[in-house]
């Protein structure tokens, strides 16, 4: 009789352990499924961003092949003009002044620059 009760208890404990193991495996599969769904959504977003970027680049390529773009680049970089058209170059006074100031400044040797840096000249106040 004791053997029957022990067998019964072992079968119950074994059955409970088996059910717990099965529940663990099911939980693990569900967790992996949720994790992979998140990864799939992230990859889908990345694909959408790359598609938008690809479309943008294709549009730029088409624009760079147009005559209006080529004409604009030739005018800006090469100074081309249409027949009968006059080109006017406007410089700000600051640019011209800077060039004049640089031309007027005496050149200082590297040694003197270091001396001025380490021992600044005294200014009269």
CA dihedral (81, 87, 93, 99) positive or negative: positive
Q: Which tokens hold the place of 38?
A: 């998140």
pTM exceeds 0.85: no
**Is 70 inside a domain boundary?**
yes
**Is 107 inside a domain boundary?**
no
In the chain, where does DSSP find H-type helix?
A: 2-64, 67-78, 93-104, 110-118
**Is 104 inside a domain boundary?**
no
- In this predicted structure, the answer to whether residue 114 has a pLDDT above a threshold of 70 is yes
- 15 to each of 26, 29, 53, 93, how far by Cα in Å? 16, 21, 57, 94
**Is 100 inside a domain boundary?**
no
**Is 120 inside a domain boundary?**
no
Q: How many domains does the chain have?
A: 1
Q: Which domain holds residue 68?
A: 2-87
Q: What is the pLDDT of residues 84-97, one digit of tens each?
A: 877 777 777 776 66
Q: What is the pLDDT of residues 31-66, one digit of tens each?
A: 999 999 999 999 999 999 999 999 999 999 999 999
């Amino acid at each position: 009789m004791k053997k029957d009760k022990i067998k019964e208890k072992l079968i119950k404990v074994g059955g409970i352990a088996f059910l717990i193991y099965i529940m663990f495996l099911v939980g693990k599969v569900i967790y992996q499924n949720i994790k992979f769904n998140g990864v799939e959504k992230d990859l889908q977003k990345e694909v959408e961003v790359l598609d938008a970027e690809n479309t943008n680049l294709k549009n730029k390529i088409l624009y760079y092949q147009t005559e209006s773009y080529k004409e604009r680049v030739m005018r800006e970089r090469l100074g081309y003009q249409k027949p009968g058209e006059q080109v006017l170059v406007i410089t700000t006074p600051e640019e011209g002044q800077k060039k004049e100031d640089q031309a007027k400044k005496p050149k200082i040797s590297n040694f003197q620059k270091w001396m001025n840096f380490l021992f600044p000249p005294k200014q009269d106040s």
